[in-house]
Structure 1
Amino acid sequence: MKWLKSLMLICLIPLLTGCWDKYELANTSIVTGMAVDKGESFKYKLTIETTEAREMSYQTASGLAPSTVSSLEGNNIGELTSKFNIMNATHPIYSHTRVLVLSEDIVEDGLLEFMDFFDRNREIRDDFAIVIARAGKAQDILKVTNMYKKSASLKLFTQLNTMQKDWGGAPDIKLNDYTRISNSEGQAPVLPAVQLIGDSKKGGNVENLKSEVPDSEVKVNSMGVLKNGKLAGYASLNEIRDMLFVQGKIKNAAITAKCENGEQNFEYRVTHSKTKVIAKEIKGIPEFYINIRTEGYLDGTQCLQKLRDLKAYEGFEKSIDNKMENEIRGLIQKTKQDFNADIFGLGELLRQQDYKNFKKYKDTWDDGYAKSKIHVSFNTEIKRSGLRKDRYIMK
């Protein structure tokens, strides 16, 4: 029996050990955002934002800076993430990173091989957003204080999610989405783009978050399209919304269209959207039939039609359908001529629905997309007119 007790004690020893890799909370700092620029002396310049927990809470805040921004240069991002104790006293924890900002120069030159580090590292989660900093440095995006969340990274992460859900103006691209699309055979990756508006030097001042009109703020204003790992160009906010309609990812959106007289406008609020795409090759040409159906309500009108007449709604619906079909066709033409990249993922749909014919485009889908025929049908159904029937002033 003694040998049995000894064996049980030996088996229990691994369960009684402490956390060999633990860090005391007082000796750690939470990284909420990272930015990558071109270095002056080395290949990359990595910037991290670490938050100060006491300043993040309104109950314990004392008016000091809510976060700290630090930068290091080097030739390897993985090495730089572990070297910040050169200037910081605490151990950085990267598992709570919410935003990765890439400078326009980095994306234009295709210097994105470091993305393999983020995808491979087990201490970094894959649910953070990736954005491009237009016309400026990526590090400056992390230096802009604000009233909401106080942290530049936390505010930008929430801003992107809200923009996508409320209006459809930002693609919901996290690290796992970027990796999947980059490795796909029938789709080109896209990334939301932001721009610093105002004085970048004043953006980091505590006074910036106390001001009613901040001296500096970060705006989501476009979307970058990547081709073969490099920046091919930008799409506007409306074009982002049109892309998300095709992909069936619109949750809510607002559409402004012309009245029958072609002068005044009316607004349509989309509450439900569903997209169905049929993909097949016909006589050697990939063809796609995109059918988008939306439901919603009238959000405001300057038109003189009386809304008690059902024919008025038919006119509104026809105006929206024509506008959106033309917009989406224009975006498709732009992606073919300017980008030569399938940002919609139509190639992936062809692979799923007609793999026999897709196989010949496996490594050359750009050529297949360039010659493809894409048919767009947009169908609107206005369910209600809001709290009133007719226009506020019928003149």
Structure 2
Amino acid sequence: MMRRPVMLICALAVMVTALSGCWSRKELGDLAVAIGLGIDRTDKGYRVTVQIVAPSLAAASSGGSGGPPALVVDTEAATIMEALRKLTTKLPRKIYLSHLSMLLLDEAMAKDGIRKPLDFLFRDHEVRPDFDVAIVRDGSAYDALSIMTPLERLPARDLYDSLNGSQKNWAPTSAVRLLDLMKWFDLDGQEAVLTGLHLVGNLEKGKTKENVESINSPLKFEYRGIGVMKDDVLLGWLNENDSKAYNYVTGKVKSTVGKVDCPDKAGTFVMEVLQAKSRIIPKLHNGQPSATVKITIEANIAEVECSLDLNSREVLDMMKTQAAKRTQELIAGGIRKVQSDFGVDIFGFGTKFHKKYPAYWASKHNQWNEEFSKMDVKVVMDYIIKGRGRIVNPPLKEEEP
């Protein structure tokens, strides 16, 4: 009978020990929560800029006191870790990186290589690698994180939402997370890419309240172009069409629009892509690689600026043919551009050869970029028109014969 009370006491003791709390917990009042991080190359090493949430000021601004909901602090040091710890000389709290939305890198550092400065972020257990990474073109990460944005109270969040929104609805950008970079750096057969960020307008006014109080903000940011990497080094930039081609081939196009010449008439029409799927088919013939890219697109007719009878099946077929031809040329041109100007496989053709032809890959993977640059790639389109909109024919006056 005595065993039951003893066992009960032991069980209670174990439960009390388990509920004693988390040994590694951190109090919110002791932390400066970072939402944006910027790294610029300097003569001293790195200039690290942190955009942190100011909870008390954010609450005050919602009540009308006018205080900014975020603060920007920066410092320089030989390494990233040293710079982050050195920021405690300017802040009463330790920087907490688990809630980052954006990491911005300056273009000069990207051209030297980003693997070393990112080592701390890859390694640190407090960093969750689900934030986006972009390169500031012709500017500094410090300036980009210092601007005030009108749509979002937290500027770093605005940068994050805009990048993901542009990839989803427009397509010439690519939202790349730190986790994606970690995978690419250890992947044979596909090189990394990063989207470029431009600052357009008056930089000094962009850092003041005037940027959010004016109907036409003096300074705006704009994502423009996808940067081609070789290992961790930035080689150069793709233009808008070639960036869109990259997203088509890699299956990242969720929705976009494209202008097409009207068949047999002056003017253009616009197709709204609703869904796009891609498939890379590798081929090996007499030891020579080639590939076919199959693209399937479903789209609506979104805008028509010429006189076309959209009740005619023949006219719809001609429009489909024109749209497919235009998209095929865009994708094929983007692939050739990367092959000729950069000579690195950012599309992932190599990963397909690795999977299908392991013996060939074992002998060629060290010089795959050279093989890719001269490889024949064919683009095949399957284009489907799903709808014509609320009206059938455009409200245009028929052209005189």
Fraction of identical pairs, as percent: 25
Match of residue 71 from structure 1: 74
Which consecutive unaligned segments of at least 5 residues does structure 2 have? none
Q: How does 1:334-373 map to 2 (within 5 A)?
A: 334-373=337-376
Further displaced range: 24-33 or 49-58: 49-58
- AA in 2 matched with 1:278: I
Q: Give the root-mean-square deviation of aligned CA atoms.
A: 2.0
Please list the CA deviations of residues 241-264 of structure 1 after superposition, one character each: whole Å capped at 9, or x if unmatched.
211111122111111111124641
Match of residue 158 from structure 1: 161
Secondary structure of 2:179 counterpart? helix
Per the TM alignment, residue 207 of structure 1 is displaced from its structure 2 partner at its CA by 2.3
Mapped partners of 1:170, 1:61: distance in 2? 36
Please list the CA deviations of residues 171-192 of structure 1 after superposition, one character each: whole Å capped at 9, or x if unmatched.
1310111111121110110001
Mapped partners of 1:144, 1:366: distance in 2? 39
Q: How does 1:66-105 map to 2 (within 5 A)?
A: 66-105=69-108
Match of residue 50 from structure 1: 52
Whether the 8 Å contact between 2:243 and 2:334 is mirrored in structure 1 is no
Matched, 1:172 2:149: no
Secondary structure of 1:179 counterpart? helix
Pairing partner for 2:240 from 215, 237, 241? 237
Match of residue 329 from structure 1: 332
Secondary structure of 2:327 counterpart? helix
Mapped partners of 2:80, 2:232: distance in 1? 18
Matched, 1:202 2:208: no
Mapped partners of 1:56, 1:251: distance in 2? 34
Mapped partners of 2:221, 2:33: distance in 1? 22
TM-score w.r.t. length of structure 1: 0.94
Match of residue 21 from structure 1: 24
Mapped partners of 1:22, 1:60: distance in 2? 31
Match of residue 140 from structure 1: 143
Matched, 1:274 2:272: no
Match of residue 382 from structure 1: 385
Mapped partners of 2:257, 2:109: distance in 1? 34
Whether the 8 Å contact between 2:242 and 2:333 is mirrored in structure 1 is no
Per the TM alignment, residue 193 of structure 1 is displaced from its structure 2 partner at its CA by 0.6
Matched, 1:35 2:38: yes
Mapped partners of 1:4, 1:308: distance in 2? 83
Further displaced range: 313-322 or 106-115: 106-115
Match of residue 109 from structure 1: 112
Whether the 8 Å contact between 1:285 and 1:373 is mirrored in structure 2 is no
Please list the CA deviations of residues 203-228 of structure 1 after superposition, one character each: whole Å capped at 9, or x if unmatched.
12122112111111111011111113
TM-score w.r.t. length of structure 2: 0.93
Match of residue 288 from structure 1: 291
Mapped partners of 1:7, 1:32: distance in 2? 46
Mapped partners of 1:299, 1:273: distance in 2? 16
